[in-house]
Structure 1
Amino acid sequence: MKHRFVSKRYWNDISTPMGESGDLTRKYEDLINFSLGDPDLTTDERIINAAFEDAKRGHTHYTDFLGELELREEICKYYRNEYDYGVKIEECMITTSGCHAMWLVLESILDDGDEVIIHEPYFTPYPQQIKLTRGKAVVLETYEEDEFQVDTERLKKLITNRTKAIIINTPNNPTGTCFSRETLEAIAEVAIENDIIVIADDIYTAFSYASPFIPITTLKGMRERTITISSFSKDYCMTGWRIGYVLAPSYIIKTMKDVNENNVFTAPSISQRAALHAIRMRDEVQPPMVEEYKKRTFYAYERIKCIPNMSVLPPRGSLYLFVNIKKTGLTSMEVADRILRDAHVLVLPGNAFGASGEGYIRIAVTVGLRQLKEAFDRIEKMDIFQN
């Protein structure tokens, strides 16, 4: 909105279909919401109770600027136990969510005009986050016929003397793809050869269905040039706690701490205690949660396969299905609008995730099987999905 009291940086509308979807959730009383990736399961009661007891014991103050020491030690132990990968305590910082972590990282590493490559379809905030930190987003398209894997030959052609970093996100939002070891190794090789940073947005690590998750930082030669962002939001159903963390070389972590002193100072102490209990209880709380979302994802996949003018790749990871609707002859926005109007089901148009997302819609399986069944029963009756 243009107004003399609003920064000119925001005079052009920067709202997105993802951001606007919140206004649509109240449109119909019987609406089924497939739009946002907010797990519908409540944080495990054991985590809540443990954090509540910690609050009563006095954990209601600022923590260390880098995050509570006990939590950072537990994260280091987690990487050692799960991936046989050593992380030093000074290489770990707790943040107020994964999104906050991404902004802090970009603010700490980018000079004006630095280029950051993002593979498209991408998590909607990336371009604006890069712009806010005075960088320039460079888009690397990926394609369904390649299972949305990064093609490193195309990647190489985008690298210039201003390229500072590439952001990778696997398991991926919105496509659900999981990068193969071969893809990760090829990206690592390009990063090393061109002396660029890889920012690994590792948000859905628990939801890698096809094969175990591989952090790119664990690959040979990548430790010194990888910044890992992770979060408790999806892997532990803790979106509202707003807690994440960053692993990076200690000099980058120090810079992030200094930047954050002028932003939110420290992450919430209560949320940090909840994260500590969550990571310690992961073998108890994660398996049933992951199995539930896997069951939903494969149910949705089977339903989509039976609906004319819809198609989708077999599920590989995350909470999402990126559904091809090109055979309808309509745009992504038109299909999303029709599904909302005719079926009272809210989905996101694929172009919310970049231009190459046109021809798709994203479905988040963040409702139970009963609602999934009801939603697809409604959708399959629509005329645009008839032979």
Structure 2
Amino acid sequence: MKKNFLADRFTREDLVPLEVIEDLANQYEDLINLSFGDSDITTNKNIIKAAFKDAKKGHTHYTKSLGDRELHQEISNYYKEEYDYSVDISEMIVVVGACHGMFLALSAVISPGDEVIIHEPYFTPYKSQVELVRGKAVVIPTYEEDNFEISIDALEKSITTKTKAIIINSPCNPTGHNFSIESILSIAALAKKYNLLILSDEVYSSFCFKEKFIPITTIEDMKERTITINSFSKNFAMTGWRVGYVLAPKYIIQCMNRINEGVCYTAPSISQRAALHALRLRKSAEAEIIKEFKKRMSYSYERLKNIPGISVREPEGTIYLFPSIKGTGLTSEEFCKRLANEAHVLVMPGNMFGHSGEGYIRIACTVEQKKLKVAFDRIEKFIYSNIKAPFI
């Protein structure tokens, strides 16, 4: 049967790398999955207990469309305590995860033909979301030899009369790079010079291993031109709760809210209560998770840097490593397919994150160290068993 009812833009038959990964994930019972960013850590029991206590009290109904007012206040308190930054509850909306927030934000600010600059390698949904709202994604590659730092010269040269916004993601999924303060200040300066909007994905802001994270919205004169997207998924191990938030000028939040009335109206009330308690318990709950991921990342880095054909940068942030596998002579997808089929370890191909991701793989350190050891033992055996061809 012909797919004649699909919108024209969805009739292509391209098999995306994500679908390849999903197929491989179901083939082996002993497979160790290091592909998706969903860890084996369960949400802190005190957060769960408090959220379900609230549910029994009656928090099982719609909240206000912008979100639970108590959660708004906790988010406001968080930014004041952590960054000495004031954000009013009218300048935020609670969303069903960061992807939902980014899509609502782009829907609110991008007109057909507007250009949105994205640094590559990039979180996969960015480009497709820009295109879904009829914008044009303009991709700027970053390179390992530059520590995946964005080139400010290349960024400025990419700005045209049609440029409306820049999406930044720091610490970055997939590279793990945390933009330097110099780069953040330079990006802010360009935004002000050319009257551009910044959409800042700060999902991994708690996972900065070398220096303190600085939200771009806190820089002087940037609040009026910054949309901040954040989530509780990673820093509180709450992926399944599907809850995040967006900070932006009041008029943008109001527009996002109008759009969301026809999408899902509001985030789940029980998830919002969990988010509220997560912020109140963050000194202990978040610290435990960050400590565990730092341990896993450090272990994985030490294992990877000694494997022939693979090179890797010391982790700076996120929960991912982005090693180069160029020394193996295989493409990213070839390497991932063979590793899954021969070693039963699943990782993401780098080309999934844009053309400049080719020659790399993304490893999510989402399992305990004991299991990571088994995974890297298998990777080593896989490499050494093929050491004559094509790896060395």
Task: Describe how 1:153-164 pairs up with structure 2 within 5 A.
Answer: 153-164=153-164
User: Where do 1:358-373 residues align within 5 Å?
Assistant: 358-373=358-373
Match of 1:349 in 2: 349
Q: Is 1:124 aligned to residue 124 of structure 2?
A: yes
Q: Name 1:10's counterpart in structure 2.
A: 10
Cα distance in structure 1, aligned partners of 2:83 and 2:235: 16
Q: Does 1:265 align with 2:265?
A: yes
Q: Distance in 1 between matches of 2:27 and 2:330?
A: 23
Out of 144-153 and 4-13, give the one that drifted further: 4-13
Query: Match of 2:335?
Result: 335
Match for residue 46 of structure 1? Answer: 46
Matches of 1:157 and 1:232 in 2, distance apart? Answer: 35
Alpha-carbon separation, structure 2, partners of 1:311 and 1:69? 48
Among all aligned residue pairs of Structure 1 and Structure 2, give the percentage whose two residues are the same amino acid.
55
Quote the offset at 1:271 in angstroms.
Answer: 0.4
2:278 aligns with 278
Secondary structure at the aligned position of 1:267 is classed as coil
Q: TM-score, normalised by structure 1?
A: 0.98
- 1:14 positional shift: 5.9
Residues 179-212 of structure 1: CA deviation (Å, up to 9, x unaligned)? 1111101111111111100100000111110111
Tell me the residue number matched to 1:221.
221
> Which AA in structure 1 matches 2:36?
L
Q: Secondary structure at the match of 2:140?
A: strand
1:361 positional shift:
0.6
Counterpart amino acid of residue 129 in structure 1: Q
Relative to 1, partners in 2 of residues 1:251 and 1:238: Cα closer, same or farther, differing over 3 Å?
Answer: same
| One-letter code aligned to 1:293 | F
* Alignment correspondent of 2:247: 247
For the 8 Å contact 1:34–1:364, the answer to whether it is kept is yes
Q: Which residue of 2 aligns with 1:140?
A: 140
1:1-387 matched pairs, under 5 angstroms: 3-13=3-13, 16-382=16-382, 383-384=385-386, 387=392
Distance, in Å, in 2 between the alignment partners of 1:209 and 1:16 is 32
Instruction: Give the 3 Å change call, closer, same or farther, for CA 2–305 of structure 1 in structure 2.
Output: farther
Where 2:189 maps in the other structure, the secondary structure is helix
Q: 1:76-135 CA distances to partner (integer Å, 9 max, x unpaired)?
A: 110000000000111011011100000000000010010100000000111111111111
Cα distance between partner residues in 1 of 2:93 and 2:378: 46
Amino acid at match of 2:7: S
Letter in 1 for 2:250: S
Change (3 A) 1:212 1:13: farther
CA deviations on 1:295-316 (whole Å, 9 max, x unpaired) are 0001010001110000111000
Between the aligned partners of 2:185 and 2:20, the Cα distance in structure 1 is: 37
1:215 CA displacement: 0.5
Match of 1:46, SS?
helix
Cα distance in 2 between the residues matched to 1:152 and 1:14: 33
- The CA distance in 2 between the partners of 1:14 and 1:56, in whole Å, is 47
Deviations 1:208-267 (A, max 9, x none): 101111101111121111000000001110000000100000000000111111110011
Separation of aligned partners in 2, 1:3 and 1:202: 38
How far apart are the structure 2 equivalents of 1:243 and 1:19? 25
Q: 1 CA distance for matches of 2:118 and 2:84?
A: 28
- How far apart, in 1, do the equivalents of 2:82 and 2:305 lie? 35
Offset of residue 5 of structure 1: 2.1
**Displacement of 1:381:** 1.3
Aligned 8 A contact 1:2 1:8 in 2: no
Q: Give the distance between the partners of 1:14 and 1:226, measured in 2 at CA.
A: 34
Deviation at 1:20, TM superposition (A): 4.1
* Residues 35/192 of structure 1: CA separation in 2 closer, same or farther (3 Å cut): same
Unaligned runs of 5+ in 2: none
* Contact 1:18–1:124 (8 Å) recurs in 2: no
2-structure distance, mates of 1:379, 1:314: 19
In structure 2, what is the Cα distance between the partners aligned to 1:191 and 1:15?
36
SS across alignment from 1:324: coil
- Alpha-carbon distance in 2 for matches of 1:16, 1:295: 32
Segments of 5+ residues of structure 1 without an aligned counterpart are none
The one-letter code of the counterpart of 1:97 is G
